[in-house]
Amino acid sequence: MVRLAHDLDRRDFIRTFSAGMALLPALGANGLAQALGSRRSRVAIVKTSDRAHGVTEALKLLDPKGMAGTRVVIKPNFNTADDAPGSTHNDTLSQLVKELQARDVRSITLGESSGPPQTRGVMEKKGTFDLARDLKFDVVNFDEMPESDWVSFTPPGSHWANGFALPRAVVSSDCVVSTCCLKTHGFGGVFTMSLKLAVGLTPKPIRRAMHQSPDMRQMIAELNTGYAPKLIVLDGVSAFTDGGPSRGELKAGNVMIAGHDRVAVDAVGVAILKSLGANEAIMGRKIFEQEQIARAAALNLGVASADAIDLVAGDGESRALASALKAILAQG
Return the CA Rg of the chain.
Answer: 19
Res 129: pLDDT: 98
In this structure, which amino acid lies at residue 189? G
- Using alpha carbons, select from 292, 188, 192, 179 the residue that is nearest to residue 245: 192
Res 209: pLDDT: 86
Rounded Cα distance, 327 and 332, in Å = 9
Contact assessment for residue 262 and residue 195, using Cβ atoms and an 8 Å cutoff: yes
Res 12: pLDDT: 39
Res 39: pLDDT: 80
> Which positions of the chain have pLDDT values less than 50?
1-37
In this structure, which amino acid lies at residue 59? L
Q: pLDDT tens digit string along 138-147?
A: 999 999 999 9
Beta bridge pairs of residue 140:
111
| Region at 266 (left for phi over 0; alpha for psi -120 to 50; beta for the rest) | alpha
Structure letter (DSSP) for residue 8:
P
Q: How many residues does the chain have?
A: 332
Res 20: pLDDT: 36
Q: pLDDT tens digit string along 161-172?
A: 999 999 999 999
Res 64: pLDDT: 96
Domain boundaries, the chain: 40-330
Res 256: pLDDT: 98
Res 38: pLDDT: 56
Q: Which fold has domain 40-330?
A: Rossmann fold (3.40.50)
Q: Could you check whether the bond before residue 116 is cis, i.e. omega within 30 degrees of 0?
A: yes
Res 227: pLDDT: 97
Grouping H, G, I as helix, E, B as strand and the rest as coil, residue 11 is helix
Res 128: pLDDT: 98
